């Protein structure tokens, strides 16, 4: 979810920052292959990688892919033990819904235990935000190191709201969001009332998932029966689709995070409900025309209060593939890319409001970060209110806010996402979409043996 190409800092600049990184070329000559998503923070990280190579002797070969391509490719590689990748970028959804059970990724807690006391203190696993660490852990073992973490919230143009005499509540309702979008929707001026995703990719569903949860709906009942045609689920989907079609951006069926970000950076969106990680990008003067014009509120709900699942919890994390022939080298890279020292590197080069957010407690107690990141309090509040273990107001048998933590979720989500694109573009009714998705989900769950 992001962009920007970074310059490589010299070793002399980084010397004082990278304490705790092994500077001895114990693994000199090794090459590791790392599969990552093509977002701005990752592209930026690649710009710093020569320092890692100079300090360790390890060469890093990146395979950089869009979200829609990354997930199936790394899953296939891990499942077949192809050896294509040593380190992969995945999320809590993969870790919690099969990768650990299938032993596709290695536990990291034992590897940290083997580090020297100095290296343990330098990395400081306990500094990872508890909610993120928990989402990346299974039975007390950490299986991913967060490169960045996020929740969701409402971003809006303060200048447009002021000019129209509007005031965004700190906890808006979806009804209020719709009224604001209606007032501010001026497509003739290339100004759209709201920016929402319509891309037919399961990994891009998060805003809709949290909206569905905020309507007090659920994906499965306690017997694992899909609930996609239930009244609250249908109401949530109806409202999302009509909001996009009435007051959203044109071509919404092709809009994911990157496209939504570009619209907001270009000043074309009045409201955007998406990942908290976007806030820093909207404050990047190199790419954004709306620096200093953005306000932040919590994610909308039906009643303007906290509802289970209305805030998601997500992280793009680095995991060590089982069977890697370069596990030690891969682990070194993972620590380097997620250490507080890497955060300091980015801050020194680009400014504190451009660091990878949502990973460490120390970030949100850092006066330098707080001073330039007016979005920090709202981000932390959203992440702390994420209810990953019970993402619905109703009784449910599953966990997960950006996806249901079961192996079958990816199949169900990708099928559901196809209907979103069609409904937003007007080629499919919501009723038909949900009926088809319900049947598909029932078939998947039946074949998977959920029903006796």
The residue ranges of DSSP E strands in 127-282, in sequence order, are 137-138, 141-142, 145-150, 152-157, 271-275
Distance CA 278, CA 120 (A): 31
**Does residue 233 fall inside a structural domain?**
yes
Q: CB–CB of 312/209 below 8 Å?
A: yes
Is residue 238 located within the same domain as residue 249?
Answer: yes
Domain contains 62: yes
Beta bridge partners of 32: 60
Q: How many Å apart are CA 301 and CA 213, to the nearest integer?
A: 9
The yes-or-no verdict on residue 96 having pLDDT over 50 is yes
- Cα(371)–Cα(373) distance, rounded to whole angstroms? 6
| Residues contacting 117, CB < 8 A, separation 6+ | none
Identify whether residues 303 and 443 lie together within a single domain.
yes
Q: Across residues 377-404, what is the average pLDDT? A: 93
Q: Residue 1's pLDDT is what?
A: 40
Q: How far apart are CA 88 and CA 84, in angstroms?
A: 10
Q: How confident is the model at residue 74 (pLDDT cuts 50, 70, 90)?
A: very high
Query: Is 70 exceeded by the pLDDT of residue 73?
Result: yes
CA distance 405 to 389: 10
The answer as to whether 294 is a domain residue is: yes
Output 408-412 pairs: Cβ under 8 A, ≥24 positions apart: 408/444, 408/445, 408/448, 409/93, 409/97, 410/71, 410/75, 410/93, 410/97, 410/202, 411/444, 412/226, 412/437, 412/440, 412/441, 412/444
Structural domain total, the chain? 2
pLDDT for residue 5? 29
Residues 268, 290: Cα–Cα separation, whole Å: 10
Judgement on whether residues 162 and 245 belong to the same structural domain of the protein:
yes
Of the listed ranges 1-5, 109-113, 348-352, 418-422, the one predicted with least confidence: 1-5
Contact status, residue 58 vs residue 335, Cβ threshold 8 Å:
no
8 vs 228 pLDDT, higher one:
228
Tell me the per-residue pLDDT of 242-264, one tens digit each, with 9 for 90 and over.
Answer: 999 999 999 999 999 999 999 99
Whether the pLDDT of residue 229 is over 50: the answer is yes
| Shared domain check, 117 and 199 | no
Q: Strands 137-138 and 59-65, how do they pair?
A: unpaired
pTM of the prediction?
0.84
Separation CA 123–CA 379 (nearest Å): 23
**Residues of the domain holding 401:** 152-311+396-447
Helix axes 430-447, 231-247, angle to 10 degrees: 130
Please calculate the CA angle 421-300-246 and round it to the nearest 5 degrees. 45
The answer to whether position 265 is within a domain reads yes
The residue written with tokens 């447009």 in the block is: 160
Q: Is 27 a member of any domain?
A: yes
Q: Do 293 and 326 share a domain, yes or no?
A: no
Residue 217 belongs to a domain: yes
- Indicate whether 287 belongs to any domain: yes
- The side-by-side arrangement of strands in the sheet containing 294-298 is 271-275, 152-157, 294-298
Question: What gap in Å lies between CA 31 and CA 106, rounded to an integer?
Answer: 19
Looking at the fold, whether 364 and 423 belong to one and the same domain comes out as: no
Domain match, 182 and 53 both: no
Q: Give a yes or no: residue 387 inside a domain.
A: no
436 shares a domain with 366? no
| Helices H / strands E in the chain, number of each | 20, 10
- What's the pLDDT tens digit per position in 297-310? 999 999 888 789 99
Tell me, yes or no, whether 307 and 353 share the same domain: no
Same domain, 18 and 118: yes
> 295 with 161: CB under 8 angstroms?
yes
The per-residue pLDDT for range 301-347, each reduced to its tens digit, is 998 887 899 999 999 999 999 989 999 999 999 999 999 999 999 99
Same domain, 203 and 293: yes
Whether 132 and 186 have beta carbons less than 8 Å apart is answered as no
Question: Which CATH number characterizes residue 433's domain?
Answer: 3.40.190.10
Q: Do both 82 and 170 map to the same domain? A: no
What residue has token string 């038909």? 432
């Amino acid at each position: 979810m992001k962009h920007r190409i970074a310059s490589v800092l010299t070793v002399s600049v980084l010397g004082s920052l990278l304490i705790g990184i092994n500077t001895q070329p114990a693994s000199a000559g090794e090459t590791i292959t790392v599969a990552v998503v093509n977002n701005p923070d990752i592209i930026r990280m690649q710009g710093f990688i020569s320092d890692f190579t100079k300090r360790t002797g390890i060469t890093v070969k990146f395979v950089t892919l869009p979200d829609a391509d990354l997930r199936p490719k790394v899953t296939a590689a891990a499942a077949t033990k192809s050896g294509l990748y040593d380190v992969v970028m995945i999320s809590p959804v993969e870790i919690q819904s099969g990768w650990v059970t299938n032993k596709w990724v290695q536990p990291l807690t034992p590897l940290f235990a083997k580090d020297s006391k100095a290296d343990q203190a330098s990395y400081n696993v306990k500094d990872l935000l508890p909610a993120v660490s928990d989402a990346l852990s299974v039975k007390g073992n950490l299986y991913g190191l967060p490169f960045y973490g996020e929740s969701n919230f409402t971003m809006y143009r303060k200048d447009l709201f002021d000019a129209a005499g509007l005031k965004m509540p700190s906890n808006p309702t979806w009804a209020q969001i719709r009224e604001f979008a209606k007032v501010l929707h001026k497509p003739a001026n290339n100004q759209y009332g709201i920016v929402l995703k319509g891309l037919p990719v399961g990994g891009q569903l998060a805003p809709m998932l949290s909206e569905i949860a905020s309507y007090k709906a659920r994906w499965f009942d306690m017997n694992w029966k899909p609930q996609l045609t239930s009244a609250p689920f249908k109401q949530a989907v109806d409202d999302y689709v009509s909001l996009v079609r009435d007051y959203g951006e044109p071509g919404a069926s092709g809009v994911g995070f990157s496209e939504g970000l570009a619209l907001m950076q270009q000043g074309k969106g009045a409201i955007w409900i998406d990942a908290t990680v976007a806030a820093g990008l909207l404050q990047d003067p190199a790419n954004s025309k709306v620096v200093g014009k953005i306000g932040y509120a919590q994610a909308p709900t039906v009643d303007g209060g906290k509802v289970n699942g209305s805030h998601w919890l997500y992280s793009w994390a680095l995991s060590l593939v089982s069977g890697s022939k370069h596990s030690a080298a891969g682990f070194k890279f993972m620590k380097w890319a997620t250490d507080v020292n890497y955060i300091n590197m980015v801050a020194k080069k680009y400014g504190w409001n451009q660091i990878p957010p949502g990973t460490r407690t120390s970030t949100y107690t850092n006066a330098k970060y707080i001073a330039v990141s007016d979005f920090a309090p709202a981000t932390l509040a959203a992440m702390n209110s994420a209810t990953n273990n019970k993402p619905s107001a109703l009784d449910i048998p599953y966990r997960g806010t950006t996806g249901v933590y079961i192996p079958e979720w990816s199949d169900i989500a990708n099928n559901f996402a196809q209907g979103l694109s069609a409904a937003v573009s007007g080629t499919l009714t919501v009723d038909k979409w949900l009926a088809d998705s319900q049947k598909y989900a029932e078939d998947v769950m039946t074949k998977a043996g959920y029903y006796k």
